[in-house]
Amino acid sequence: MCGIVGYIGSKSAVDILLNGLTSLEYRGYDSAGIAVCIDNQVELYKAEGKLQNLKDIVSAQKTHIEKSSIGIGHIRWATHGAPTTANAHPHSCNCGKVAVVHNGIIENYKELREKLEKQGCTFRSQTDTETVAHLVASKYAVTKDLTEAVRLATKEIEGAYALCIIHQDVKNTIVATRRNAPLLVGIGDNEFYLASDVPAIIEHTKKAMYLDDNEIVTLTPNSLLYIDSDNNKLTPKIEILPWEPVALSKMGYKHFMLKEIHEQPDVVRNVLSGKLRAIDENVRLDEVTLNQDKLKVLNRIQIVACGTSLHAAMIGKYIIEDLCGIPVDVEPASEFIYRRTITDKNTLVIGVSQSGETADTITAVRQAKALGSHILIVTNRPDSTMAREADSLVPVNAGIEVSVAATKSYMAQVISFYLLAIYLAERASKRVETNDLNKLKHELIVLPQKIEEILAHKEGIQACAKKFANAKDFIFIARGINFATALEGALKLKEISYINATGYTAGELKHGPIAMLDESMPVLSILMNGKVYEKILSNSEEAKARNARMIALTNSTDSKLDDLFESIIRIPDIDEMISPALAIVPLQLLAYYIAEFLGKDVDQPRNLAKSVTVE
């Protein structure tokens, strides 16, 4: 989900749209566009690349475009189709009368496209969004009512979306709706604003209403019609937007944690932006200063971290060793600092911290730096103490994270480790074939779309959470690269629900922990298609034989799972090497919903702080 802004009123729309898009640039994007109505004509202006490219196009015709007092705008991160002008939003129908901007993913766009093409529609882009423009146009041709056309169109759409739509035959009107993607309406004096995030409109109004799933709003300069998907009128709930920047980011979600889980597709896009430009280009990490001479003498990597960051580091160890053949040690910073430090000038020491202010990790990197090691810091705060100690820096660009339980910052750290591993492999190792690296790059690029698929279908995770919310203990098992995922899933559950959850390598279950298993013990198995799938399946059968209550998190369609597991959480298919970045999302949601069912303080769990600044 990228960025949406809209305006209708008496002011010139163009500057409001462009300034709103500027405030959403942090999301990461590769194209931008606006649609305005001028002299009863819908006009589209689009450009690939940075927003400035669009501004330059608009500036050349500013006198003409300034006539419009209604418009919608969008910044896009490419999913369906390359980042080209043709694929940029807004999109239109064959007649050119409809304009649509869209955040999210239309899952059944192929079926809709085939149906619309048979009706005579000609598609000009590779996007899923263009199907919405044609679909709304076809419904409007019958109903002659834009609100009803949108309502009927959304009945046929599957997936996640925030949509803003204008039609040149329906003057001074914007229709907007959403499902599993944020959208709010800013309320002014005889004017309205639309946005996917508060920063786009906060300079214009402090009054807003948040749309819930499947609700539709129709705006004119002096009216607001608010209905549900069954055409029942609703009463708008107007909220006053708070001044504090941290509070602004809640966006109508019940908790910051849930909102931050939903931000993760955009977080991945933002981490990749500018670093992974194309599959056939090398990864760029501009603030990493490891040159060829330093890489030649590098014989060891030491990673130090705490908590959630430690689990991200474990994934980093796995992928760096696999891609580069360089030995990697991972250790809690709190342990590292109280034993003999054996790093030297041929050791790369990586410190990982969301805040960049974690006391144990700061001490660890300072000890290593004193012995001549090259220090690389992975952090969400490039202005932090740890960043100032760095010889190289990988800023993870996750944005403000309010909830104490880290979600989107963990995701950003994991993605940063994938980029770092590929970066090192491309420059210092011949162990991995170029085709294999390109495959991983492709998986990273499409990862946000797959996360959005999970977020659009949370019902099964909610049902599983409700079923197991009263468990007193919980075991997570996995093997290989997803052992860290098991640990992180267990940590999230511990942090916010206070259930005693533990992660194990699946092969170790029979070496002691199996004694705890009985009919009251849930065991969650992470089974990703790959080289250890059959082994984890066997370990799961061992647990089932001890009457444990079995849960599967899997991308497999293996029919054997149906008899073995009481509950199955399925995720989109993904390469085993990248699977930790996808598998963690349902585990975050599972922990969240269990804590919510139990009535816990999700965002501020007891005894915990966001940044630990003492050893």
Residues 188, 225, single domain; the answer is: yes
Task: Report percent pLDDT > 90 for the chain.
Answer: 70
Residues 98, 190, single domain; the answer is: yes
Q: Residue 1 above 50 pLDDT?
A: no
**What is the structure's pLDDT at 175?**
98
Is 519 a domain residue?
yes
Give the H or E element holding residue 446: helix 434-455
Average pLDDT score over residue span 9-32: 86
Percent helix, strand and coil across the chain, each to the nearest 5 = 40, 20, 40
Residues 267, 396, single domain; the answer is: yes
- Rounded to whole angstroms, the Cα distance separating 140 from 152 reads 9
- The one catalytic residue in 2, 164, 306, 324 is 2
Q: Residue 243 above 60 pLDDT?
A: no
> pLDDT confidence of 611, banded at 50, 70, 90?
very low
For residue 293, the tally of other CB atoms under 10 A from its CB is 8
Residues 493, 435, single domain; the answer is: no
Collapse the DSSP code of 151 into the 3-class scheme (helix H, G, I; strand E, B; otherwise coil) and give the result: helix
- The one catalytic residue in 11, 97, 439, 610 is 610
Residues 223, 339, single domain; the answer is: no
pLDDT 10s digits, 213-242: 899 999 999 999 999 999 999 999 898 876
Residues 153, 28, single domain; the answer is: yes
Q: Residue 432 above 50 pLDDT?
A: yes
Q: Residue 167 above 90 pLDDT?
A: yes
Is 433 a domain residue?
yes
Average pLDDT score over residue span 111-135: 93
Residues 283, 432, single domain; the answer is: yes
Q: What single DSSP character describes residue 258?
A: H
List the strands of the sheet with 500-505, edge to edge: 500-505, 473-478, 522-527, 549-554, 567-570
Provide φ and ψ at 244, rounded to 5°: -65, 130
State the amino acid at position 140 in one-letter form: Y
**What is the structure's pLDDT at 82?**
84
Q: Residue 253 above 50 pLDDT?
A: yes
pLDDT 10s digits, 389-427: 899 999 998 887 778 889 999 999 999 999 999 999 988
> pLDDT confidence of 59, banded at 50, 70, 90?
very high
Average pLDDT score over residue span 10-39: 88
Residues 58, 170, single domain; the answer is: yes
476, 508 contact by CB (below 8 A): no
Q: Residue 498 above 60 pLDDT?
A: yes
Average pLDDT score over residue span 70-94: 89
**What is the structure's pLDDT at 108?**
93
**What is the structure's pLDDT at 613?**
38
Is 609 a domain residue?
no
Is 427 a domain residue?
yes
**What is the structure's pLDDT at 3?**
87
Q: Residue 434 above 80 pLDDT?
A: no
Q: Residue 359 above 80 pLDDT?
A: no
Q: Is 610 an active-site residue?
A: yes
Q: Please give the mean pLDDT across all residues of the chain.
A: 90
67-71, 140-144, 157-161, 190-194: which has the minimum mean pLDDT?
157-161
CATH of the domain at 537: 3.40.50.10490
Of the candidates 431, 454, 477, which is a domain's last residue?
454
CATH of the domain at 223: 3.60.20.10
**What is the structure's pLDDT at 238?**
92
**What is the structure's pLDDT at 403?**
82
Of the candidates 223, 252, 281, which is a domain's last residue?
252
- Rounded to whole angstroms, the Cα distance separating 93 from 117 reads 12
> pLDDT confidence of 27, banded at 50, 70, 90?
low
**What is the structure's pLDDT at 242?**
60
Is 610 a domain residue?
no
**What is the structure's pLDDT at 468?**
96
Concatenating the DSSP letter of every residue in 97-136 gives -EEEEEEEEETTHHHHHHHHHHTT----SS-STHHHHHHH
Collapse the DSSP code of 38 into the 3-class scheme (helix H, G, I; strand E, B; otherwise coil) and give the result: strand
Residues 508, 538, single domain; the answer is: yes
Average pLDDT score over residue span 7-11: 96
Average pLDDT score over residue span 428-453: 86
Residues 124, 205, single domain; the answer is: yes
Is 603 a domain residue?
no
Q: Residue 612 above 60 pLDDT?
A: no
Average pLDDT score over residue span 563-570: 94
Q: Residue 563 above 70 pLDDT?
A: yes
Is 421 a domain residue?
yes
pLDDT 10s digits, 519-558: 999 999 999 999 999 999 999 999 999 999 999 999 999 8
Q: Which two tokens stand for residue 471?
A: 């468990």
- Rounded to whole angstroms, the Cα distance separating 178 from 213 reads 6
Residues 425, 556, single domain; the answer is: no
Q: Residue 196 above 90 pLDDT?
A: no
Q: Structural domain tally of the chain? A: 3
Is pLDDT larger for residue 16 or for residue 40?
16
Is pLDDT larger for residue 95 or for residue 23?
95
- Rounded to whole angstroms, the Cα distance separating 492 from 609 reads 14
Average pLDDT score over residue span 497-521: 90
Collapse the DSSP code of 6 into the 3-class scheme (helix H, G, I; strand E, B; otherwise coil) and give the result: strand
Of the candidates 454, 474, 502, which is a domain's last residue?
454
Q: Is 2 an active-site residue?
A: yes
Distances (CA, A) of 450 to 300, 409, 425, 482, 573: 34, 18, 26, 18, 9
Residues 539, 469, single domain; the answer is: yes
Is 611 a domain residue?
no
State the amino acid at position 447 in one-letter form: L
**What is the structure's pLDDT at 614?**
40
13-17, 45-49, 434-438: which has the minimum mean pLDDT?
434-438
Domain residues for the domain of 542 are: 457-597
